[in-house]
Amino acid sequence: MADSVGGITIGQMETVDPTLVGATNSSVAQPLNLNHHTHVHNNSVTFNAAYGDELNSTTPSSAGGVTFCTGSDYYLFDYNWVCGNLSTGDGGGVAQHGFMLEWRHRAQLDHLQSEHQPDR
């Protein structure tokens, strides 16, 4: 078991806020480009688990399988087998955590994912 994600993590869970450009009521977040144009493909992500956050506390975690974090702009996630992952937070299989600009998922095989929300 891992702290923030069980299988694959792209980026860091805790990053600075993106820069806003434009007028106050119509500002646009700019891409952080910390891990840009990442291509995650042809993986078997199975039987992973995630609990707590990076600080190993009891706060909900992200996905048990694959998590893309803030700054993973323009990523592509395709042709992966994601199965049998468990999370106490934001989904068993695949999750996005934070702000990303222009991303794509295609041809995914997701099966038997599980999420458990602890009593609060």
Residue-range domain boundaries for the chain: 8-115
Burial class (CB within 10 angstroms; exposed 0-12, middle 13-18, buried 19+) of 68: buried
Of the pLDDT bands very low, low, confident and very high (cuts 50, 70, 90), residue 112 is very low
**Average per-residue pLDDT for the chain:** 75
Of the pLDDT bands very low, low, confident and very high (cuts 50, 70, 90), residue 108 is low
65 close to 112: Cβ distance less than 8 angstroms? no
At 79, the amino acid letter reads Y
Q: What is the pLDDT of residue 94?
A: 86
Cα 117 to Cα 103: distance, rounded to the nearest angstrom = 27
Cβ partners under 8 Å of residue 59, min gap 6: 52, 53, 89
Give 34-84 pLDDT, tens digit per residue.
888 999 998 999 888 887 655 555 555 678 888 888 888 888 888 888 888
